[in-house]
Amino acid sequence: MRRTIRFTVNGDPVEVEVQPHWPLLRVLRDELELTGAKMGCGEGECGACTVLVDGKPINSCIYPVLEAEGKQVLTIEGLVSSENELHPIQQAFLDKAGVQCGFCTPGMIMSAKALLDMNPNPTEDEVRHALAGNFCRCTGYVQIVESVRHAAELLLKNAKQTGAGE
């Protein structure tokens, strides 16, 4: 029995026919062709599928799509600006080598975004805590943590500049 649900993805309203038992990840990847979020386990363990729903990081592989009804979903594809510029968190992951194979990266960046939205200047422990649900087999996490803290600096600098410009 299919149902139609409506929600917003990266600012665009969408209307999708879904099976009620589908997880959000399946709809994002297969129906909406937003393949940035990755399936690393499908069991809520690895965080590769992390997207933000109303600003909160969730494991979209186990998040029932019906719960997204009427909500704002943000995926990695929604971070690049309309001028095609990288988001500071994305830039920071390149600058500080927070990415190696890149499979965990979209999820990592979304978890980092949720953290920095709430806590613009986190300590190392706060970053490590926020990323505890995102596995990475390549980096050993050190340069991911450095990337997130570097992103915080970039974002604070940007905020100051815009603040000063006003």
Partner 1 sequence: MAEQFVGKSHPRFDAEKVTGKARFINDIKAPRMLYGKILYSKRPHARITHIDTSKAERLQGVRAVLTGFNTPDVRVGFLGDQIALKRDKVRQFRDEVAAVAAINEEIAEEALELIRVEYEDLPAVFDPIEAMKEGAPLIHEVDARGKPRRNNILPLPWKLEAGDVQKGRSESAFVVKDTFRTTWVHQVCMGTSGCIAEFDVNNNLQFISVTNVPFGGKDRLDMFLRNLGIRGSTRILTPYVGGSFGSKLDTDIYEFIAVLLAWKTKCPVKILFDRLEEFTASPPRQPIIGTVEQGCDKDGRLTFRVVEMILDNGAYTSWGATTPSVMMVPISTLYRVPNISFRATCVYTNNIYAQAMRGYGNPQATYVVEQSMDQLAVEAGIDPIEFRLINANEPNETSPMGLKITTCPMKECLEEVKTRLDWKKKQGKHDGHGVGVACFLHVGGGARVYRSDAQGLILKVDDEGKVTAITGGTDQGQGSETIIRQMVAEATGFRPQDVNIFQGDTEICPWDVGTHASRHAFMVGHAILMAGAQVRAKLLAMASTWMGQLISRNLQKKARQDPDFKIPDVDLSLLSNPENLDISNGQIFLKSDPDNKLLRLPVAQIVRSAHMVGTGRGEMIVAEAFYDPPNEMLNAEGKGNLSCCYTFGAHGVEVQVDQETGQVTILNYVAAHDVGRAINPMLVKGQIYGATIMGAGYGLTEEMQVNAGRVMNPNLLDYKLLTAKDKIPIDPVIVEPIEPSGPFGLKGIGEPACVPAAPAIANAVADAIGVRIKDLPLSPEKVLAAIKGKGR
With 0-12 / 13-18 / 19 or more C-beta atoms within 10 angstroms meaning exposed / middle / buried, residue 15 is exposed
Structure tokens at 30: 């297969």
Q: Of 7 and 141, which has the nearer Cβ to partner 1? A: 141
Q: Of 7 and 113, which has the nearer Cβ to partner 1? A: 113
Q: Is 48 in the site for partner 1 (CB under 8 A)?
A: yes
Q: Is 20 in the site for partner 1 (CB under 8 A)?
A: no
C-alpha closest to that of 113 among 23, 5, 7, 10: 10
Q: Of 14 and 39, which has the nearer Cβ to ligand FES? A: 39
Identify any residues that bridge with 89 across adjacent strands, giving them in sequence order. none
Contact between residue 164 and residue 129 where contact means Cβ atoms under 8 Å apart: no
Residue 10 interface partner, choices ligand FES, partner 1, none, CB cut-off 5-8 Å depending on type: none
Q: What is the number of other CB atoms lying within 10 angstroms of the CB of residue 165?
A: 6
C-alpha closest to that of 86 among 73, 68, 99: 99
Q: Is 93 in the site for partner 1 (CB under 8 A)?
A: yes
Longest distance between any two alpha carbons in the chain, whole Å = 55
Site for ligand FES in 61-120 (CB under 6 A): 61, 99-105
Residues that bind partner 1 (CB under 8 A): 29, 34-43, 45-46, 48, 75-77, 79-80, 86, 90-91, 93-97, 99-106, 109, 124-125, 127-129, 131-145
Residues that bind ligand FES (CB under 6 A): 39-42, 44-49, 59, 61, 99-105, 136-139
